[in-house]
Amino acid sequence: MANIKDVAERAGVSVATVSRVLNGNSPVAETRERVLAAVKELGYRPNNVARALRTARTGTLGLVISDLTNPFFTELADAVEDAARGLGYSLVIGNAGERPAQQDDYIRTLLDRRIDGLLVSSAGTGSAMLGEVVASGTPLVLLDRTVPGIDAPCVRADGRAALTDLAAHLAALGRRRPAIIVAPAGTPTGDERLERFRTALADHGIALPDERVGAAPDLQPSGGRRVMRDFLDLPEPPDAVLATDNLMALGAMDELRARGLRVPDDVALVVYDDVPWFAHTDPPLTAIAQPTRDLGRAAVQTLLARIEGRPAPSVLLPAHLVPRRSCGEPPTP
């Protein structure tokens, strides 16, 4: 493949001139044309590796996602990729598969590749490697999940308003025994959703006792199904269930169907994350929709601010309730 020296020779100028023409610094008519002609004839493309070495900028961002096969994160990754490309950056995606060790592995690799900035939706609770990222000076932005003790802005959705609306929605429909399926204990996101849901319900005089709070062992359908099974085996099973992740909701639906229970007649079901699929289930599921694409865009913008040394505060974007038929009310058209 032709390099800058070949172009310089062909155009009869020095490599410095070629570089200047291509980078828009102090170009001039006659020489410029010769250089551009040579570039075209040789099909020259600058070597980004060499450029990155010299400029210490790779033009690449890293994204470590907790579980790429989870549609919520797929859409998030897609949005991030869109935004990054729009700003001239490439994106290296690493999939942690909810395994902290693999996440650390990936972060290490990305640092070695000298990416310009890093986005992480952290699997598990903490991570020694995240501390190293901060220490290394690589701009870092957390996505969707906060990590205690890490000094980096976090971009995520604020579900408080949506959970408040949901509590009102359920109360209005006469549901009195709500339940919630949360992520494995100790994750900040899960704890927050639980607390907020509980207080919002309390405002309507509805209790959320611990027996109707189920922590799934993992963010998978099987985990959701197991929790739902326990709920249904209670002496007083719930009449409404909120699954705080879309995959867990799938498992919950399976268990309901296996027992011949109907949604919403027997149990109302609400899912956190409004992935397209849930509009196609029977019945369509009421959902708490996070502004996924906006989150991705905001994350990239925040990261870019950090890269350029501008101040970059955390971002909270509101989630909102999307009522469908799974709680009993016909959708408001």
Site size toward a second copy, by CB under 8 A: 47
Which of 1, 29, 265, 330 is close enough to bind a second copy by CB under 8 A? 1
Q: Which of residues 143-202 bind a second copy (CB under 8 A)?
A: none
CA dihedral 68, 69, 70, 75 (to 10 degrees): 60
Q: Using CB atoms within 10 A of its CB, is residue 214 exposed (0-12), middle (13-18) or buried (19+)?
A: buried
- CB 97 → a second copy: shortest distance, Å? 8
What number of other Cβ atoms are within 10 A of residue 67's Cβ? 21
The C-alpha atoms of residue 150 and residue 140 are separated, in whole angstroms, by: 10
Interacting residue ranges for DNA, rule: CB under 7 A: 3-5, 12-20, 22-23, 25-28, 30-32, 44-47, 50-51, 53-56
Q: Is 259 a residue that touches a second copy (CB under 8 A)?
A: no
Beta strands in 85-163, from DSSP E residues, in sequence order: 90-95, 117-120, 140-143, 154-158
Structure tokens at 302: 């925040």
- CB 69 → a second copy: shortest distance, Å? 6
Asked whether the beta carbons of 145 and 157 are under 8 A apart, the reply is: no
Residue type, 196: R
Q: Using CB atoms within 10 A of its CB, is residue 333 exposed (0-12), middle (13-18) or buried (19+)?
A: exposed
User: To which H or E segment does residue 257 belong?
Assistant: helix 246-258
Indicate the residue among 143 and 208 with the shorter CB distance to a second copy: 143
Nearest CA among 232, 173, 234, 160 for reference residue 204: 173
Residue 23 binds which entry of a second copy, DNA, none, CB below 5-8 Å type-dependent? DNA
Residue 109 binds which entry of DNA, a second copy, none, CB below 5-8 Å type-dependent? a second copy
299 — phi, psi (to 5°)? -65, -45
Which of 281, 314, 317, 329 is close enough to bind a second copy by CB under 8 A? 281
Which of 254, 307, 318, 329 is close enough to bind a second copy by CB under 8 A? 254
The C-alpha atoms of residue 252 and residue 224 are separated, in whole angstroms, by: 5
Residue 265 binds which entry of DNA, a second copy, none, CB below 5-8 Å type-dependent? none
- CB 152 → DNA: shortest distance, Å? 24
Residue 30 binds which entry of DNA, a second copy, none, CB below 5-8 Å type-dependent? DNA
Q: Is 128 a residue that touches a second copy (CB under 8 A)?
A: no
Which of 10, 20, 72, 95 is close enough to bind a second copy by CB under 8 A? 95
Residue 22 binds which entry of DNA, a second copy, none, CB below 5-8 Å type-dependent? DNA
Q: Using CB atoms within 10 A of its CB, is residue 265 exposed (0-12), middle (13-18) or buried (19+)?
A: exposed
What number of other Cβ atoms are within 10 A of residue 114's Cβ? 13
The C-alpha atoms of residue 184 and residue 219 are separated, in whole angstroms, by: 8
Indicate the residue among 90 and 314 with the shorter CB distance to a second copy: 90
- CB 85 → DNA: shortest distance, Å? 20
Q: Is 31 a residue that touches a second copy (CB under 8 A)?
A: no
> Whose structure tokens read 């939706």?
121
Q: Which of residues 56-75 bind a second copy (CB under 8 A)?
A: 58, 60, 68-69, 71, 74-75
Which residues of this chain interact with a second copy, rule CB under 8 A? 1, 45-50, 52-53, 58, 60, 68-69, 71, 74-75, 77-78, 81-82, 85, 90-95, 105-106, 109-114, 136-137, 221, 250, 253-254, 257, 276-277, 280-282
